[in-house]
Chains A and B, each alone.
Chain A
């Protein structure tokens, strides 16, 4: 089915292009079918500024807007300005879908940057697939998705875990306690983690999920005490992360012998739990605020001078920033009359740039991003110390936990 729809759309696009060639003034002026006109390229910015996830999405919004401002200040894309159309989906998946429809259909944005949660991405997905538009998604997520209408610039499980898990097994031991919040993301991460642990001959002593927003971890901590795992692998999210770390510390457990290894604890959560509670624990991510590179220094300084000296950058705001530049690079390669979502998708395949975290690249097969995973240990000052960076950039494989499936340029393949 998708093949047939795509063929149809291609045909339609050709017809339109032919029409534009013959009667350019009719099409461009009256019906506004061209995406780039009057020296402007409209893009949607779809991050929640109100509601429960506004806390984090506000920083993604700021990083996106800053990148757009920078590009425009430097002369835009081939002399055209990027015009952001901002919408507030209020942390509600249904509103996400509604606003996405507005951005794509009535504002005629050529691409949209947005979403933090998987729930909101899943909600807008049908809109972008049906209209064959493009969605840029900056968050690390659980993988197992293969859409031709989403550019994924955050990490998938294999990128965060391939270095992290063997490193922890070697350094701390083979008894692992998996704890996560009770929804899809932690379960998929743990699926992949269990696969890696089995290959390393390590043992999962418990796998446990707490309700979203849970804040009473004393029973869980008693289980840590009685099971005595070597590593606590945590995919607990949101304010539960804060409660878990604080109660772990209050209970007097020792990160030296039983560290928590997390995929979700960023500078944001650490600021809320206090450096004392975070000290000694590990996080794996492609980006940390302290990462020492000229690009990151420039990014952090620009962010703070634009939005305030106390602001932090983190592993979701960084992709929010660089993905706008990747968009720019792709559009730059196109003639103004050729700028459409499908041509941008083709142009962005294989596109590379030096992001704050290092050189990144869009994988042509699955539209995910090659990234540089790092292992950080938190100090009592609330900042991470980077202990290890992967030797090479990591290929994104959203189906790595499922060896019989593979995401290719033609869609999901069973092998």
Chain B
């Protein structure tokens, strides 16, 4: 079993943050790519992160050696596939420190997780019931609730953000009353990088008996997550943003809350007994995993978790902060650069606009220098409206990025400005 293989302790704790990129870059084959004749500088990690060889191999090895449908048959390959799939669930449990593996549902990603919850939780909600979102949510944590609002007439309340890009927590208690059914909030903003105080939010919400859903997509690549310590009720994330494969993610839910949810999709494997008169549904998590599961994805996700466990995450986070500081200082030194998101507690994400340069032109010109960034609204149009801009450029970093790459970004911005102004 590949995912169960013992991994040598190549990188122990106690790394110096600066040594991290040199140690890990050889693990990521794509970082050796050339773009436009130049070494790739990949700063679009918040869109998707790159994959270490361990993940690529785990997925390929599943198809080469262990491929079978999980939970379906008694032959040897089916047994291997099933064991690996359930072992992956246990890895995810450990990764977020859930109390039980039965609290982990494999889904396609964060978007599907939130849609599942809007569907399941919203079943009993009525017109006038309220869900509280925040002004910095990704469309994935806005549109599912709007779809529910169209069906049921619920109310959507929005917790505002400050100009610096922090939640106005003082406004939260006023939005919590007997009609409030859920607070749904991002852990880390994909645009601003702001790390939100989830434990504080759950404390406030729980004081009013309101459960909390956390969109963890942007948090899991950068920090250790402990769902029990934060006491959130639901937590969801996507594998591909944390160095795992696309098409797989996980939803954590407290056992009693998952048990109260209706099925999401109907089909094979989510039942205990089917007759034409009546069907009995399986208990969570199988209740929410209808049809053939993305076993290779789950196994790849487990490989990503294993890979992260070989890193000193505190040192990696310190290195990421050094990257963020260098980029911020570099942009400030250029002048004429507006940075969106100035929270003191930030993930290594930096959204900005260069005076006189449209974000899209900047994106194309940076690409000509081998630098990959995201341009556009970042699936957060309400936040763009708040700042009164149509689009920004976003550089988002990971632990494998280097300070030299940050310097190449700053040089490329200077070049683009020279071309366009």
Do A and B truly interact?
no
